[in-house]
Amino acid sequence: MKTIDVSATTPSLSELLALAHSGNLLLRAPDGKEFLLAKVDDLALEVEMIRQQPELMEFLSQRSREESRSSLRQVREKLGLTGQSG
């Protein structure tokens, strides 16, 4: 990760984006605050968008707590494989 002190120089947004294309940038403001400029991965963006949907997150949470198990006999019955060996 490359650190750029923006108090010493004033790079353009285009320059910063070009630098961020090859790796994350840590930008340090004149007041000492730091900001991260990073390329967004499509999967990471999708995960973040999903996390911001409380209804979907609750649904997924409930689904993960459900215990839905079937015995081998039940699976065979559902598939119409009763009475067959194998």
Render pLDDT for 12-65 as a digit per residue (tens, 0 to 9): 889 888 888 888 888 888 888 888 888 777 677 778 878 888 998 898 888 888
2 pLDDT tier (thresholds 50, 70, 90): confident
Q: Is residue 85 part of a domain?
A: no
Q: pTM higher than 0.75 for the full model?
A: no
Q: Is residue 84 part of a domain?
A: no
Do strands 34-37 and 2-5 pair parallel, antiparallel, or not at all (unpaired)? Answer: unpaired
Its domain, for residue 14, covers 2-37
Q: Is residue 71 part of a domain?
A: yes
49 and 25 in a single domain? The answer is: no
Q: Number of structural domains, the chain?
A: 2
85 pLDDT tier (thresholds 50, 70, 90): low
24 and 49 in a single domain? The answer is: no
14 and 27 in a single domain? The answer is: yes
31 and 46 in a single domain? The answer is: no
Q: Which tokens is 5 given?
A: 């002190």
